[in-house]
Amino acid sequence: MCPEASEDVEDAPALLQAVRATQRTLERRARAYRAAAICVGVVLVAAVLIAVARLDWRPLLLAALLAPVVGIFLIIDSRTVRAWQRRILGLWMREALSLSELRATLQGMQHLPTGTIRGMLDRLPASEHPEELDQLAAAARSSLAAGCLECARREERRTVLSAIGATVFVCSLAATGSTPVLVLLPAALLGLVLVIASRLAGSRSPA
């Protein structure tokens, strides 16, 4: 049995399952961040080196590739966190996990990144009295969990729209001079519309 599979044994206490799931999610997010940082560095260095070698500024336009790189990272990160959220809420809905205990445990683990953990916990149902959430009936838990997951799906769609729009817009601008304006203008406008639509969708999201 592989190590990761052994960590997901259903007989393990729910709190332990949740903590392990959180740690694995943090590791996946860190790997994705490192990969994105490497890609950003490679693109920037390559653009500068080619521009210097050719004594031409146009290779600097390769920096437009940063838009899809960052967009892909944000989408992957969003889906990674949503998978964790779904896992934690599943344990909670089965009344096997105490959210208040999970919050206290994760916030007490000093080696975990405080800001990242806080952002992940914000994806879970919240209350001024956290222990009250663990006393809710199954139907109420299911309703709260469904609302949290719907907000996460909405945010993910907004991220996808924004990433695609920014990529189309930036790459359209970078292609100026080598592509007919009649082709670039509609593409740039489309990208701008997608970015604006993603912002408007976010502003209409319920608090």
In the predicted model, what is the mean pLDDT of residues 53-74? 91
Closest by Cα among 68, 72, 75, 88 to 25? 88
Give the separation between CA 98 and CA 133, rounded to whole angstroms.
Answer: 8
pTM over 0.85: no
Q: Is 178 exposed, middle or buried (0-12, 13-18, 19+ CB in 10 A)?
A: exposed
Residue 96: is its pLDDT beyond 70? yes
Q: What is the pLDDT of residue 116?
A: 95
Q: Is 72 exposed, middle or buried (0-12, 13-18, 19+ CB in 10 A)?
A: middle
| DSSP type of residue 61 | G
- Phi, psi (rounded to 5 degrees) for 107: -70, -20
Residue 100: is its pLDDT beyond 50? yes
